[in-house]
Amino acid sequence: MQSSKPSQATSTSSLLPTSLIPTAARSASYGNNGNSENLPPRTLARVARDVRDLVKSPPEGVRLVLDGETGMPNSLSEILAEIEGPEQTPYHAHYFQLKLVISTDFPNTPPRGYFLTKIYHPNVDPQTGAICVNTLKKDWTPTTSLSHVLTVIRCLLIVPFPESSLNDEAGKNFMESYDEYARRAKLLAGVHGLKGWSTPVDDSNEEGQENNEEKDEEDGKMPAGVVSNALGKNGSRSNIVKSGGVSKSLEKKMNKKKSLKRL
Q: Are residues 34 and 128 in the same domain?
A: yes
Judgement on whether residues 188 and 107 belong to the same structural domain of the protein? yes
Residue 200 covered by a domain: no
Same structural domain, 122 and 159: yes
**Same-domain status, 176 and 210:** no
Q: Is residue 179 part of a domain?
A: yes
Is residue 236 predicted with pLDDT exceeding 90? no
Query: Which tens digit of pLDDT belongs to each residue from 118-152?
Result: 999 999 999 999 999 999 999 999 999 999 999 99
Same-domain pairing of 113 and 215: no
Going by pLDDT thresholds of 50, 70 and 90, the confidence category of residue 245 is: very low
Same domain, 146 and 254: no
Number of domains forming the structure of the chain: 2
Q: Which of 98, 131, 132, 156 is catalytic?
A: 132
**What is the spatial distance between Cα 31 and Cα 222, in angstroms, rounded to a whole number?**
43
132 tagged catalytic? yes
Same domain, 145 and 232: no
Chosen domain end from 140, 161, 192:
192
DSSP state letters, 22-83: -GGGGSTTTT-GGG-----HHHHHHHHHHHHHHHHSPPTTEEE---TTTSS-SBSSEEEEEE
> Quick one: 66 and 150 in the same domain?
yes
Confidence band of 21 (pLDDT split at 50, 70, 90) = very low
Q: Which of 157, 192, 227 delimits the end of a domain?
A: 192
Helix, strand or coil for residue 238?
A: coil
186 in the same domain as 226: no
Q: Are residues 30 and 82 in the same domain?
A: yes
Within 99-205, residue ranges assigned H as helices are: 146-158, 168-176, 178-192
**pLDDT for position 230:** 30
In a domain, 199, yes or no: no
CATH code of the domain covering residue 34: 3.10.110.10
- Is 120 inside any structural domain? yes
The contacts of residue 116 (CB under 8 Å, 6+ apart) are 12, 16, 20, 21, 22, 25, 80, 97, 98, 99, 129
Final residue of a structural domain among 192, 225, 249? 192
Per cent of the chain over pLDDT 90 is 58
Q: Could you list the residue range(s) of the whole structural domain that residue 237 is in?
A: 206-262
* Residues 179 and 54 both lie in one domain: yes
**In the chain, % of residues over pLDDT 70:** 62
